Structure 1
């Protein structure tokens, strides 16, 4: 009888360990997708970078603005030829759902103009598509003082 309980415990432990490994791997994928999007923003612009990794149901939350709902609405909300290329961000951490299909990242952003640098925090919700690619579902943030003060 003890052997039966030991076997059940071993199977449960192995499954739990596998789930944690999958979550860790998924979080690494989200952090990489987030970091890659920031790098892309310096090349093609902030909004264009978000658009390139956005899910079709993407929601963009902005300071003092109503949410922009849907990838098409977001694409129509900005001038693609005059996009800002001086916004960067760095993910600090995140979390992945036990299912491995949904997660978030959060971190600090920085926006440089000719004479001023602005700072803030952000959170991005990510959804894993059937092809294994993580896409942004929701993105928003707020302004903060310089975090290094």
Structure 2
């Protein structure tokens, strides 16, 4: 398993968000066993049941993101991605930011996130 494969999982997560809606993507890519979502200015979401309740009400796809770096543990069952995001209102960019996501390999071989969070930056973060 290479770090590039984990970056592809993160890109697929974003692609689903753009195609089917950010709420559906956050639900679909969340691990069933212990998901924590850190949200700027809000209490964290601590489990998948709560995540489904919150994100089933989210519509639109004003949030886009791009992974910039990934690493996978020697055990090959945990990894992280780090990247940048944009929040748009129509064509106008309302916010730039960075995020970090911890991924856990599932029994079926797919990757699901177990921790996700991020925060705004003054300007767009450039690729490392």
TM-score (norm 1): 0.77
- Which residue does the alignment assign to 2:119? 142
Q: Which SS does the other structure have where 1:109 is aligned?
A: strand
Give the alignment's Cα RMSD to 1 decimal.
1.7
CA distance in structure 2 between the aligned counterparts of 1:130 and 1:64, rounded to whole angstroms = 34
Moved over 4 A (4+): none
- Which residue does the alignment assign to 2:79? 103
Q: What is the deviation of 1:58? A: 1.2
- Which residue does the alignment assign to 2:14? 38
Q: What is the deviation of 1:100? A: 0.6
Which structure 2 segments of 5+ residues have no match? none
- Which residue does the alignment assign to 1:78? 55
Q: Which SS does the other structure have where 1:41 is aligned?
A: helix
1:55 aligned to 2:46? no
> Is the CA contact 1:62–1:140 (under 8 Å) kept in the aligned structure 2?
yes
TM-score (norm 2): 0.88
How many aligned residue pairs are there? 124
The answer to which structure has the higher helix fraction is 1
CA distance in structure 2 between the aligned counterparts of 1:91 and 1:73, rounded to whole angstroms = 25
> Is the CA contact 1:44–1:83 (under 8 Å) kept in the aligned structure 2?
no
CA distance in structure 2 between the aligned counterparts of 1:75 and 1:47, rounded to whole angstroms = 8
> Is the CA contact 2:98–2:125 (under 8 Å) kept in the aligned structure 1?
no
